[in-house]
Amino acid sequence: MSGLYYEEFEVGETIEHERRRTISESDNQRFCDMTMNQQPLHLDAEFAGETDFGRRLVNGLYTVSLAVGITIPETTDGTIVANLSYDDVVHPKPVFHGDTIRVQSTVTDKRETSDGERGVVTMHVEAFNQDDELVCEFDRTVLSLKREYADAE
């Protein structure tokens, strides 16, 4: 377990996540297939080539999912009760096959639950490509274990 317990999160701290991931054409294809998203902008090279982007885009929901996954080891691995929400998702730049994504999370809020046994933590998550362009951002809110109550869970 490498995640943080509620009391270890500090409002204002930014966590630079160590893992990065280069997105392949196969990653995008499999994600579209699994989610039944057949948008030609993600799958059809001829169609996408005639758009303003000039080539296929990576599915935006895959980008969000990848960003969340990258954050897990340093934030909530083994210390989470539940993800509560993903809010204000924005994709300011497109993601293409071959882009390498890195992620950082900034803790923006935390509060104890009414029973005092857990805590709610909100993080602003930002994903960047290999050129340090912001390609996705959102707020992730989690219900986190407190260390003293972790064994009871």
Mean of pLDDT values over 46-50: 97
Distances in whole angstroms, Cα of residue 49 to Cα of each of 3, 36, 42, 61, 93? 42, 22, 11, 21, 17
For 4, which DSSP code?
P
Residue 150 pLDDT > 90: no
- What's the pLDDT band for 149 if we cut at 50, 70, 90? confident
> Residue 93: CA atoms inside 13 Å, Cβ hemisphere, count?
14
Whole-angstrom distance, CA of residue 133 vs CA of residue 114: 40
Residue 32 is encoded by which pair of tokens? 């579209």
Kindly state the percentage of the chain with pLDDT values over 90. Answer: 95
Confidence (pLDDT) at 1: 54
Mean of pLDDT values over 41-53: 96
H helical segments located in the chain: 25-35, 40-43, 45-49, 60-75
